[in-house]
């Protein structure tokens, strides 16, 4: 972890919890960040869309940002069930995740669709967290670096910068499985990503997160890697003690 880049610890709560659960989790996290001697990182939580307003209220005044888990590429229109990036911004979000592997797999989103969503996020003033990562079959075939390079080229829109874009590397085969690549594999992929981002992005300033079964037990080993600038945390972000322990690993 390069300390010139402030680490970002982002929690993706996925489709879990009702408003009361989200509010309590947000208040707990916010209270810890206000208590003094907080870890030297930025905090972000991405609750289900229905819980965004209560979480925004729960963390008000604390150094905790709120983000959406997805957005539509259009600013408005006949898109039943979708949410525009500017609606997320209007609700108090500062970030949005785009291209998560679950969206790519479950909803058939390709790189072009993800780039359009990231561009919409930028237009709305949001930071886009662009997710990339290979499947187990792609890694076993020796194609992991080529797949991720293709996703980077296709998923990051023109005009992206290190200020409005974060990249999250999530080896698909490690999400929710308890498996993680070796630290050497993680560092090699993060360095590879830093080397193939488009020229509009200052690669040295770009934050690249690792996402794939991050837990308190493996966070320190991952976050000390020179090209790992934080974590995109799934299940462990639903338990504030665990999420906070991951942030502590940035010290």
Chosen CATH of 8-15+41-248 out of 3.20.20.70, 3.40.50.970, 3.40.50.740, 3.40.50.300: 3.20.20.70
- Is residue 9 exposed (0-12), middle (13-18) or buried (19+ Cβ within 10 Å)? buried
pLDDT, tens digit, for every residue of 81-138? 999 999 999 999 999 999 999 999 999 999 999 999 999 999 999 999 999 999 999 9
Report the C-alpha gap between 172 and 66 in whole angstroms.
24
Q: Is 170 considered catalytic here?
A: yes
Q: What is the dihedral of CA 111, 146, 184, 166, to 10 degrees?
A: -30
Q: What is the mean pLDDT of the chain?
A: 96
pLDDT, tens digit, 9 for 90 and up, residues 239-248: 999 999 999 9
pLDDT at residue 176, as a whole number? 74
| pTM across the whole model | 0.97
Q: Is 100 one of the catalytic residues?
A: yes
Chain segment 165-190, per-residue pLDDT in tens: 999 999 998 887 777 799 999 999 99
Q: Which range (11-15, 34-38, 159-163) has the least confidence?
A: 34-38
Marked catalytic residue, from 23, 134, 138, 170: 170
Query: What pLDDT score was predicted for residue 175?
Result: 80
Q: Does position 210 have pLDDT exceeding 90, yes or no?
A: yes
Quick: pLDDT tens for 126-146. 999 999 999 999 999 999 999
Of 129, 151, 134, 139, the residue nearest 231 (C-alpha): 129
- Tokens 């194609």 sit on residue: 143
Q: What is the rounded average pLDDT of the residues 76-83?
A: 98
Q: What is the pLDDT of residue 174?
A: 85
> Domain ranges in the chain?
8-15+41-248
Residue 32 is predicted with a pLDDT of: 97
Predicted confidence (pLDDT) per residue in 20-31, tens digit: 999 999 999 999
Catalytic residue among 100, 122, 138, 190: 100
Segment 47-57, tens digit of pLDDT: 999 999 999 99
């Amino acid at each position: 972890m390069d300390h010139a880049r402030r680490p970002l610890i982002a929690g993706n709560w996925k489709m879990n919890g009702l408003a009361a659960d989200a509010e309590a989790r947000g208040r707990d996290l916010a209270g810890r960040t206000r208590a003094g001697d907080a870890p030297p990182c930025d905090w972000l939580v991405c609750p289900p869309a229905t819980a965004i307003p209560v979480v925004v209220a729960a963390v008000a005044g604390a150094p905790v940002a709120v983000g959406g888990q997805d957005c539509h590429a259009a600013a408005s229109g006949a898109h039943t069930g979708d949410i525009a990036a500017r609606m997320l911004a209007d609700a108090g979000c500062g970030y949005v995740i785009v291209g998560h592997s679950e969206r790519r797999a479950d909803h058939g989103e390709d790189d072009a669709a993800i780039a359009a969503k990231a561009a919409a996020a930028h237009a709305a003033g949001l930071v886009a967290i662009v997710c990339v990562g290979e499947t187990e079959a792609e890694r076993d075939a020796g194609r992991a670096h080529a797949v991720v390079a293709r996703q980077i080229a296709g998923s990051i829109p023109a005009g992206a910068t290190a200020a409005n874009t974060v990249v999250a590397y999530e080896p698909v085969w490690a999400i929710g499985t308890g498996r993680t690549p070796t630290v050497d594999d993680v560092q090699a992929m993060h360095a590879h990503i830093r080397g193939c981002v488009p020229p509009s992005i200052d690669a040295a300033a770009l934050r690249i997160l690792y996402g794939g079964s991050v837990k308190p037990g493996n966070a320190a080993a991952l976050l000390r890697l020179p090209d790992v600038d934080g974590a995109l945390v799934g299940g462990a972000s639903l338990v504030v003690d665990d999420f906070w322990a991951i942030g502590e690993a940035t010290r």
